[in-house]
Every structure is written in structure tokens, then in C-alpha cells.
Amino acid sequence: MSTKQNTTQSVGQNRRQRVRGFWERVTDGLRIDELWGQFKSEAKAGYGLYSGDVDWEPIDQEKSRFKRARLSAWALFQAMLMKLSPARRVLLLVAVLLVLVNPDARFGRGGEADFGFGWIGIVILFVLLALELGDRVTMKRDLEIAREIQQWLVPSEPPKIPGVDMAFATRPQNTVAGDYYDAFLRPALSASSKSPSLLTVVADVAGKSVPAALLMATFQSGLRTLSATPASLDEIVVGLDRYARAHSLEGRRFTTAFLAEIDPENWAMRYVNAGHNDPILRRASGPIERLASGGPPFGIPLFTDSEIAYVSGSVQLLSGDTLFIFTDGVAEAVNEKGEEFGEPRIISSITSSAGDTAQVILNRVMNDINSFVGYARQHDDITALVLRVVA
């Protein structure tokens, strides 16, 4: 083979490698079917964002299918237009008009471009795209900083306590979340007790993204402050509810929570369920128990000056028992058919992992959720905590 042929082959291989590398960067290594599934999920979410601003009643009353389709497209375009700033709305309208006036943006003879109104409209569209991407990148950077701060508020790993195997995971719907989990040691339950107690909590602030994340931070601060005192679990709960009502925006920002305090000397557990999903307690011998004792969510407005009387429950944990605490995003994870994952599937995942470590159980549940949901877009924060007694 001649030197010229070798050079040609080498150039061709380099070009193919560059193209392959560019494609992998653009697609993030996803397969075509994965890209298509992701696109459908994003398109469905985008349609939901814009269609929510459309008054569909007069459109649905149209008998002509063609006219109904034309009115729907125009209504969705207006909804999209109103999401932009006034200056960008005008630019978008100008760009669309220029493209419609001269749609034949083409190259002339000899490869020279025919820069008519159509090309000007296309350039304006690219400028608008660049501006919107710039805003998104800036917002994403700010949200990433907020996410880092939020991650400082929750433990990166469970506390080291003999006889306790614990694991937790959270997956925000957006960059930041309104879910909260924590597990830490606090002062001993009584003067006769030698060991500090373990306080475990999972909470869910109503709403999503930044507003919910800010309230989650105040909830964490209040819980940590109250837990540093000799206050009992009942007193902590009353204090959290009082604070939540003062900042609930007339009940629009309530918080569901499950709090449990465990005595590591005898594994006795007291808990309060404040309007939260009933945690699942799987006994080592097989039976399933649900922990429901408590009261309404924190922050529900009262019409009297009296405090809400939360009822605490008690459970005796035994070696091999597994406690699974979760937010509603776990049970209500939805697939592309609109079906919910549901608590029966959670119980099935836990049961099939009986005897495994807390991390294995948690991974099994999260993987089962991923398999069930597929490419459907996540619509709520997902948080779960697994605690096993291995003493």
C-alpha cells in the first residue's frame, strides 16, 4: 500500500473518530431509542407547561377539525410567546414574519448565499435561542449552588451506631428539592439512660423547587435547634408545628413528616406521623406493619389558640426488623401510561430483599422505580430512608 493511500486512510479514520466523538458528546452516550424516549417525555412535559395557559373550551366547541387544529396551534404559540420577555416576544414575531414572507432562504449560483429576509429571520431565531440558553445556563448555575447548600443540610452518610444499618437516598424533581431526611444522635432520653437516642426524620414540604427548598431549610433548622435541647419528642413536634403554622402562607406551604426516636439500649422506638405516608415496618419474621399514629401535617391553620394534639406511637424493634420511610414521590412515581408505582410494589421490593443490607434494600426499591417509570419525566421529589436492626 502506497504512502498516499495510508495517509488517506489515516485522515478518514481521524475524521470518523472526530464525528463519533462529537456524536457521543451531543447524545451523552445514549442510544437512539433512549434519545427518542427522552424526547417524548420532554415534549409531553413541555406541552403540559404551555397548554395549562390555554383556554380550551372555545376551541373544543369548534366542529371543523382543521379549524380546531389551527386554533390550537395559534393558542399554543401565544402561550409560548407570553413566556418570553416583551423584547424577545417582538423579536420572535419579527423572525417568524420574515421567514413566512421569504421562506426560500437558499444558496445562489456558485455557492453564493442569497441573504434575503428569510435568512435574517433565521439569524434572529438563533439569537433568541442563544439568549434563552444563556438565561438557562445562568439559572442552572445558581440552582447548582443552591443544591450544594441544600446538600450541606442533610447527612452525606448515616451515623455510626452499633446494631443499626441505615441507608438513604433522595432524587429531586428539579435541581433542588422540598424533601428532607436526617438521622442524628441527640441527648439521652432520660437521666438513667447512658446512650444518646437516635432521631430519624423524613419530611416533605408542599410544593416543589426553590420555594419548597427554602422552607425545607427552615424546617431543618428548627428541628436541629429543638433536638439540641432536653425536649421530648412530643415537645419537638409541637414546636415544629407552631413554627410551620407561622410560616405556612395560610396553609399553602404545609409539611408532612415522620419523626422517630430510638433508644439504642433496648431498641424501643417512639414516633409521630404528621400527615406523612405511613412508613413500612417489615418484621424479621415476615409480617408488615404500618406506622400511622400522629396527626395532621405541620402548618395546617387553626381557628383556635390551642395546639394540635399529636398522638405518638411506640414500637419495639427486634433484630432483623426493617423500617422503610419514604415520601409520596416514591409511591406516586408515574410511568408513561400514567400508572403509579404504588405502595404494594414498594412492599414487594422490600420483601424480595429480606435479609439484605439497608443499602441493598434501598437500591432494589430505587431500581424497581426506575424500571417501572422508564422514560417518563419525574413529577415529584423522591426520598427514602431504610433502617435495619442488626443487633
Q: How is 72-111 classified by DSSP, letter by letter?
A: HHHHHHHHHHTTS-HHHHHHHHHHHHHHHH-----B-GGG
pLDDT of residue 3: 62
Region 213-235: what's the mean pLDDT? 88
Q: Does residue 30 carry a pLDDT above 60?
A: yes
Domains and CATH numbers, the chain: 158-389 (3.60.40.10)
Render pLDDT for 134-188 as a digit per residue (tens, 0 to 9). Answer: 888 777 787 777 777 777 778 888 888 899 999 999 988 877 778 899 999 987 6
- C-alpha angle with apex 325: 320 to 326, nearest 5 degrees? 145
Beta strands in 234-346 (DSSP E): 255-263, 268-274, 280-282, 288-290, 294-295, 313-316, 322-326
Spell out the long-range contacts of 278-282 with Cβ–Cβ below 8 A and sequence spacing 24 or more: 279/202, 279/323, 279/324, 279/325, 279/326, 280/323, 280/324, 280/326, 280/343, 280/346, 280/347, 280/350, 281/315, 281/321, 281/322, 281/323, 281/324, 282/321, 282/322, 282/324, 282/347, 282/350, 282/351, 282/354
pLDDT of residue 114: 57
Q: Which three cell numbers stand for residue 159?
A: 451515623
Higher pLDDT, 5 or 234: 234
What CA–CA distances, in Å, run from 75 to 70, 72, 152, 293?
A: 9, 5, 44, 49
Q: Does residue 27 carry a pLDDT above 90?
A: no
* pLDDT above 90: percentage of residues in the chain: 33
Region 347-370: what's the mean pLDDT? 91
Give the integer Cα–Cα distance in Å for 176 and 153. Answer: 12
Higher pLDDT, 98 or 110: 98
Burial class (CB in 10 A: 0-12, 13-18, 19+), 156: exposed
Render pLDDT for 107-141 as a digit per residue (tens, 0 to 9). Answer: 445 555 555 677 888 888 888 888 888 888 777 78
Residue 246: count other Cβ atoms within 10 Å of its Cβ. Answer: 8
What DSSP designation does 305 have?
A: S
pLDDT of residue 293: 94
242 pLDDT band, cuts 50/70/90, is confident
258 pLDDT band, cuts 50/70/90, is very high
* Lowest pLDDT segment from 134-143, 183-192, 260-269, 313-322: 183-192
Give the integer Cα–Cα distance in Å for 152 and 220. Answer: 11
pLDDT of residue 325: 97
* Lowest pLDDT segment from 2-16, 133-147, 177-191, 279-293: 2-16
Beta strands in 140-242 (DSSP E): 164-171, 179-186, 197-205
389 pLDDT band, cuts 50/70/90, is very high
pLDDT of residue 368: 94
User: In sequence order, what are the residues at sequence separation of 6 or more whose Cβ sits closer than 8 angstroms to the Cβ of residue 292?
Assistant: 273, 278, 313
Strand partners, 313: 271
Region 204-224: what's the mean pLDDT? 82
317 pLDDT band, cuts 50/70/90, is very high
Phi, psi angle pair for 25, to nearest 5° = -65, -45
Give the integer Cα–Cα distance in Å for 199 and 259. Answer: 7
